[in-house]
Structure 1
Amino acid sequence: MNMEIQSYIGNFTPQAGLHERALRIFEALDIAESSRTDYKSRIGLFLEFIQEHPFNRNSFLEFKRHLAARNDISVSTKSKYLTVARVFLKELNKQGIIPADITQNVKSFQQTKKHKKFGLNQSEVDLLLAEIDQLPENFSNVRLKAIIALLIYQGLRQVEVIRLDVEDISPGQMTALVHGKGRDDKEPIDLHPHTVEALTHYMAYCKVRSGPLFVSNSNNNQSGRLSTRSIRNIVTTFLKDLSIRNSTHGFRHYFTTKLIELFSNDLLTVAKFTRHKSVETLQVYNDNVSRKNNLPKYYEAFNK
């Protein structure tokens, strides 16, 4: 086996050749485009490892131990690198390039299911909404208000925001069609009245009549669809101006937590609004809500 693998590695040295083979393998996978991009960006670490260490039956396990010994990256990041290497090696085995699946019986990194990052709290949202109403009316600020409405009142993900087209919005019906994460088709959602108001004003004021809902007003990408990076920069810049230390995804945490509190832990109902595929994911939010609700009792236990 070692000779066959070493022969394969040798055929693709220097590393650039091996890297090209990895990119072609990922290009042929039936996966979401975001996953494909992530795989391509992360595979380099494993390829560097096997260039520096003789490839053998235990290479995948040795790579895991190499990741485990690093203190400069989180367990979550280690798990992503390991997953990419696992997918790559399994595909090599399927294609007959290596004679065995060397990823078998090697476990993934164990991660806590508890959230390590928390969403915006109510006081931060109140501050944000008060400040955004005071902004002078121009293209950027009207667009910002519409984006914030989708984050706060609809709990949309960044990628769902940028995928929206004008044709997806039905103000009269108070609905929108959202292309969700990991979905092949768009699904209808109900829009909050505040969202309808913000979107209607944005489309009229900024004269966005068809195509991408959120477009750029920069010289480099005039009227082009905003990217997830652009959305993130627009929102986090506004948060920083208010001294709020959080991320764009923090709005989805806020949205989900708010609904769990409102619907008294009815996770099936909450899932209809948040569009989580698994109620188990929502249970993590539910546990956080319960923990916060029980804190006063915990404090009181040691005050007596």
Structure 2
Amino acid sequence: MDFEDAVERFTEYLEFVRNLSQNTVDSYTRDLKHYDRYLEEYSLDYRQVKRRDIERFMKELSQGRYSSSRLSPSSVARHLSTLKTFYMFLYVSGTVNKIPTDLVKAPRTRRRIPEYISYEEVQRILNAFPNTHLGRRNRAIIALMYYCGLRVSEVCSLSIRDISLESDPLVRVKSGKGNKDRIVPLTPDAVRILNEYLLYREKFPDANGHTRLFVGIHGEPLTRKSVNKMLQNHVKKIFPDKHFHPHIFRHSCATHLLQRGASIKVVQEILGHANISTTSIYLHITDREKREAVKLLSKGENNEN
């Protein structure tokens, strides 16, 4: 079985046995394309590679080989994780008799504090959209990412039936990352913004023929790429010197909830994290909070309670 056939069988396993989302499967596939280029570069048979071959692949990934740019340690570590899953699948299915990734260590990665913006900045972005059908759609997209902590891919995948705006407003997020469904309550602001959009949704071509909540200017389903492009064009008008990525609204949602006293367990459920350790990265302390805390040290005894 050649490498292409092995990858095809592997992706079928991911889709139909592990039932992973299409975005996750696509991520595995991209990593394996980089690996395929490496195998071709050194005329290697994927069934005969050794530990040193995998380690060389990781080193060259970090140097910018086989991809459009140099990869960060976390991206290299993700490639290794993909290969570990791939070779475990091949081992269990009898295609290989050993797993070359077994003793390979992932590069050390720094735990980065997620970027976030202030509540006031979020409101400036939301309020700056024009009250056109396109502006209302874009405002609703940002509102769901901020008020509900949704990922871009989750927003793009929503159907009209996933939104309930009645007495108990909520959004049903189906098969999010990790293939887990969840329900997230909608805030009054989110309900208002969604209602304003839905009044104008029929202005989009073929909107009534789609079950997707959000559609493009030609009636096509939205993609992560189109949402990112929309955001960059919009933000440049408000913050010319800043580069915002869509995930910043999800980061801001989590950060603001924790800053305002929400339980980390509740935030984990809202974000759809499988492990609470993932949510804990949002327990960072802002510079403002540190300055306020240090000021307490300058208070005299007479001010103590």
Bucket of the pairwise TM-score, normalised by the shorter protein: 0.7 to 0.9
Distance 2:140 2:286 in 1: 32
Task: Please tell me whether residue 100 in structure 1 is matched to residue 106 in structure 2.
Answer: no
Structure 1 residue 90 corresponds to structure 2 residue 49: no
Q: Which amino acid aligns with 1:19?
A: E
Q: Equivalent residues in 2 for 1:29-178 (5 A)?
A: 29=14, 30=18, 31-53=20-42, 54=44, 55-58=48-51, 59-68=53-62, 72-115=70-113, 117-132=114-129, 135=130, 137-172=131-166, 173-178=168-173
For the 8 Å contact 1:19–1:44, the answer to whether it is kept is: no
* CA distance 1:292–1:74, shift in 2 (3 Å): farther
| Alpha-carbon distance between aligned partners in 2 of 1:56 and 1:188, rounded to the nearest angstrom | 45
Alignment deviations for residues 188-221 of structure 1 (CA, whole Å, 9 cap, x no partner): 2211001111111211222366711111222xxx
2:63–2:71 CA contact under 8 A, matched in 1 = no
Given candidates 19, 22, 47, the residue that maps to 2:4 is 19
**Aligned-residue offset at 1:145:** 1.6
> How has the CA–CA distance of structure 1 residues 297 and 254 changed in structure 2, closer, same or farther, with 3 Å as cutoff?
same
Letter matched to residue 45 of structure 1: H
1:225 aligns with 2:218: no
Q: CA deviation at 1:120?
A: 2.1
Does residue 192 of the first structure (1) align with residue 187 of the second (2)?
yes
1:292 to 1:83, Cα distance in 2 relative to 1, 3 A: farther
Q: 1:281 to 1:292 in 2, by over 3 A?
A: farther
Aligned partner of 1:276 in structure 2 is: 273
Q: What letter is aligned with 1:51?
A: E
* Distance in 2 separating the partners of 1:130 and 1:65: 46
Distance in 1, matches of 2:4 and 2:25, equals 14
C-alpha distance after superposition, 1:65-117 (max 9, x if no partner): 444555922112211222222222222222322221121121222212232x5
Distance 1:143 1:107 in 2: 45
Partner of 2:173, secondary structure, is strand
Q: Which runs of 5+ in 1 are unaligned?
A: 1-7, 13-17
What's the CA shift for 1:52? 3.3
**Alignment partner for residue 258 of structure 1, among 256, 259, 262?**
256
Distance of aligned partners of 1:274 and 1:50 in 2 relative to their CA distance in 1, 3 Å threshold: closer
Q: Which moves more between the two structures, 62-71 or 204-213?
A: 62-71
Cα-to-partner distance string for 1:146-169 (whole Å, 9 max, x where unaligned): 112112211211111112111222
- The separation in 2 between residues aligned to 1:292 and 1:114, in whole angstroms, is 19
One-letter code aligned to 1:27:
E
- Give the superposition deviation at 1:261: 0.5
Contact 1:119/1:246, CA 8 A, preserved across alignment? no
Q: Is the 8 A contact 2:176 2:272 kept in 1?
A: no
Q: For 1:36 and 1:50, how far apart are their aligned partners in 2?
A: 21
- Please give the secondary structure, in 2, of the residue aligned with 1:79: helix
Please tell me whether the aligned partners of residues 179 and 185 of structure 1 are also in contact (alpha carbons under 8 angstroms).
Answer: yes
Q: What's the offset of the Cα at 1:297?
A: 6.0
1:211 is aligned to 211
**Aligned-CA RMSD value:** 2.8
| 1:28 matches 2:23 | no
Distance 1:130 1:25, change over 3 A: closer
Q: Deviation of residue 63 (structure 1)?
A: 2.5
Q: For the residues of structure 1 that align with 2:49 and 2:184, how far apart are their CA atoms?
A: 51
Query: If the length of structure 2 is used for normalisation, what is the TM-score?
Result: 0.79
* Residue matched to 1:3: none
Q: Structure 1 residues 50 and 242, CA, compared in 2 at 3 Å: closer, same or farther?
A: same
Structure 2 unpaired stretches of 5+: 298-305
> Is contact 2:145–2:249 with CA below 8 Å preserved after alignment?
yes
Indicate yes or no: 2:223 matched with 1:238.
no
Q: What is the SS of the residue equivalent to 1:63?
A: helix
